[in-house]
Structure 1
Amino acid sequence: MGGALSLTLAALAYPSMLGFTTVAAAPDRVIAQTSAGPLTEADRDFVVKVRAAGLWEYPVGRMALQKGTTDAVRTAGRHLVSGHAALDATCRRIAPRLDIALPNRPSPQQQGFVATLGADSGRQFDSDMANILRTTHGQIFTTIAKIRSTTRNTLVRQLADQANDTVLDHISVMEKTGLVDFDQVLFQETTPPRLPADDTTPPPPTPGEAQVTLKP
């Protein structure tokens, strides 16, 4: 598993829920005063990126339900689907109140994750899914904590609480598959490669485009 996994992770590589390495240039700058409190660039990025995370992890969860070869992998898939459907509902509920345009497609990097896992089968799928998702969730965990501790917006704070619980749950179910290569995952978490912003940024919705909904 080690060689193939190293190649996969190095090729796709990793900020998670979507390119958190390319957060706004002035994350503390207030861009709007809302009924829920001031909204900063970092707050807006967080909402967008939680939405984008679901746009790739939700279909991966459905793949796990169809392609997973063990009960633990299929259980992880169910948690991905239900967790991101719930987060997506929250994002879609609060975005209009904060005047945030939500993407309908994940970033190119995230699309690469989906393509890789879509081409996998059998135990290779199980292993790649557990390790890719454990890496990305591990990376985003500390970012959620920072948003939660610094935001002055009550809606963003509520989303951060929900995201924290969801990500911890997803980390746990990935580990319970017994397939996580911790040495490789921890290396990828702490030394992510630098990627161009275009690779880690979800594209904005096009005018008139119907909003994608992730259903439980």
Structure 2
Amino acid sequence: MLRWLIVLVAALAAALVAALSGVTAGYAAPPHVSDQDKAFLIGAHQDNLAEIQGGQLAERQAGKQSVRDAGKKFVEDHTSLDEQLKRVAEKLSVDLPSRPSEEQQAELRRFAAKGGTEFDRAWIDAQVKDHRDTLNFLDKEISTGSSPDVKNLAHDAKPVVREHLNLVESIQSGE
């Protein structure tokens, strides 16, 4: 009789666990995202916004056709990268800012005040530095990030950023 009671209690406990897990499954909490992954999503989004705006400036204000073409490519590529990033951020319930950082906005204002050769030199020099920094930012996320979705974003963005760096370095060296 005691054995039968133990079996019955165990069966009821198992049924209760199954029922509760079914009830709570529809109310799943958003996935946990580490502070590093959040910072990456926010920083990469702001970088994309700055690259898009800077590329638009290059299309309008550059003196050389190669710089205007690079600006157009940056607008297209960073718009695409940012669409992917926004989907991941939404999936992970990470709120993104609506504009570049204050520092990036100040840099964009400096570019906007220039034109022709002066713009070309300033913008290309900044792009070389920014894309080198971005490659380091991507490498850090790839090696130490927590979220597979965020790490995949960084991994997928790396060849695009490398291509942009190669492009601006070739323009900088006069090739």
> Scaled by the length of structure 1, what TM-score is found?
0.63
Is 1:131 equivalent to 2:125 in the alignment?
Answer: yes
Query: 2-side partners of 1:151 and 1:56: how far apart?
Result: 23
The correspondence of residues 162-173 of structure 1 with structure 2, limited to 5 A, is 162-173=156-167
Query: 1-side partners of 2:49 and 2:172: how far apart?
Result: 26
Gaps of 5+ in 1: 1-31, 181-216
Higher-Rg member (1/2): 2
Q: How far did 1:54 drift?
A: 1.5
Q: 2:78 aligns with which of 80, 84, 104?
A: 84
* Richer in strand (by share): 1
Q: Which protein has greater RCO, CA pairs closer than 8 Å, 6+ apart?
A: 1
Query: 2-side partners of 1:164 and 1:132: how far apart?
Result: 18
Is 1:113 equivalent to 2:107 in the alignment?
Answer: yes
Q: How far did 1:163 drift?
A: 2.2
Q: Could you tell me which residue of structure 2 aligns to residue 211 of structure 1?
A: none
Query: 2-side partners of 1:98 and 1:85: how far apart?
Result: 20
Q: Secondary structure at the match of 2:33?
A: strand
Q: How far did 1:132 drift?
A: 0.8
Is 1:155 equivalent to 2:149 in the alignment?
Answer: yes
Q: 2:36 aligns with which of 28, 39, 42?
A: 42
Query: 1-side partners of 2:144 and 2:122: how far apart?
Result: 34
Q: Which amino acid aligns with 2:101?
A: S
C-alpha contact 1:63 1:77 (8 A) present in aligned 2 = yes
Q: Could you tell me which residue of structure 2 aligns to residue 98 of structure 1?
A: 92
Q: Which amino acid aligns with 2:72?
A: R
Q: Which amino acid aligns with 1:56?
A: A
C-alpha contact 1:50 1:87 (8 A) present in aligned 2 = no
Count of residues in correspondence between the two structures: 146
Query: 2-side partners of 1:68 and 1:179: how far apart?
Result: 17
* Richer in helix (by share): 2
> Scaled by the length of structure 2, what TM-score is found?
0.77
Q: How far did 1:52 drift?
A: 0.3
Q: 1:52 aligns with which of 46, 52, 55?
A: 46
C-alpha contact 1:52 1:107 (8 A) present in aligned 2 = yes
| CA gap 1:135/1:75 in 2 versus in 1, 3 angstroms | same
Which runs of structure 1 show a deviation greater than 3 angstroms over 4 or more consecutive aligned residues? none
Is 1:63 equivalent to 2:72 in the alignment?
Answer: no
Q: Secondary structure at the match of 2:127?
A: helix
Determine what percentage of the aligned residue pairs are the same residue. Answer: 27
